[in-house]
């Protein structure tokens, strides 16, 4: 009996460990369904507040003050694993805008400006 219970629990744990999930975040009433090809799907629907109808909400990127585009410079984490990270640079040392962290294996990384604010 103990063996059957143990095997049953082991199967439940193993099946839960291999489960994959997608997440939808948004302000739509009811259940949100994420896009099948996305691990995170941020959705926004029109809404009314205080008698005013708004068309939705946007995504606010983290504001960072880079000192150099050739240095990762963010707290914590491994710069090799941060490839694809996007930030909004709002300091004075580097042009303001949206930057993408790029790095080839064995090479130096850099923040590439993908949208300028000026």
Residue 25 φ/ψ, nearest 5 degrees: -125, 135
pLDDT tops 90 at residue 115: yes
Question: Is residue 112 within 8 Å of residue 99, measured between CB atoms?
Answer: yes
Q: Write out the DSSP string of 36-55.
A: TT-SEEEE---EEETTEEE-
| CB 110 within 8 Å of CB 70 | yes
For residue 116, what are the CA distances in angstroms to 59, 71, 88? 17, 19, 10
pTM value is 0.71
65 vs 23, higher pLDDT: 65
Tens-digit pLDDT profile for residues 49-98: 999 999 988 999 999 999 999 999 998 888 999 999 999 999 999 999 99
């Amino acid at each position: 009996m103990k063996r059957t219970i143990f095997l049953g629990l082991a199967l439940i744990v193993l099946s839960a460990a291999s489960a994959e999930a997608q997440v939808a975040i948004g302000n739509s009433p009811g259940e949100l369904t994420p896009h099948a090809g996305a691990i995170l799907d941020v959705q926004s629907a029109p809404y009314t507040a205080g008698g005013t109808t708004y068309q939705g909400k946007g995504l606010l990127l983290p504001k960072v003050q880079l000192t150099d585009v050739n240095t990762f410079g963010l707290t914590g984490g491994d710069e090799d694993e941060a490839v694809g990270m996007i930030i909004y640079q709002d300091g004075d040392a580097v042009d303001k805008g949206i930057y993408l962290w790029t790095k080839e294996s064995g090479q130096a990384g850099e923040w590439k400006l993908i949208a300028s604010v000026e």
